[in-house]
Amino acid sequence: MRELAEALGAPPPPGLAAAAPEELALLARAVRARRESHAAGLNDAAEEALKLVPALARGPVRRILFR
């Protein structure tokens, strides 16, 4: 249950207390994988959006956005 709470960043719903430890571990791995995939997608989208910024301004804009 602790592993799932860490993956969720919050306490899991009480109904999951009845789930088997193997199922909770599988769910925790799935949550982590989805968050990593989502973060990668956001980074890709941000890089694509920077292509709309004039070339001379990209460096300063990147530093401001990605501190």
Q: Which two tokens stand for residue 58?
A: 């990209």
Distance of CA 67 to the CA centre of its chain: 18
Question: What is the predicted pLDDT for the residue at 18?
Answer: 93
**Mean pLDDT computed over 38-52:** 92
Q: Is residue 66 over pLDDT 90?
A: no
Residue with tokens 């973060």: 39
CA–CA dist 22, 3 (Å, integer) = 11
Range of the domain at 14: 2-65
Q: Number of folded domains in the chain?
A: 1
Give the pLDDT band of residue 67 (cuts 50, 70, 90).
Answer: confident
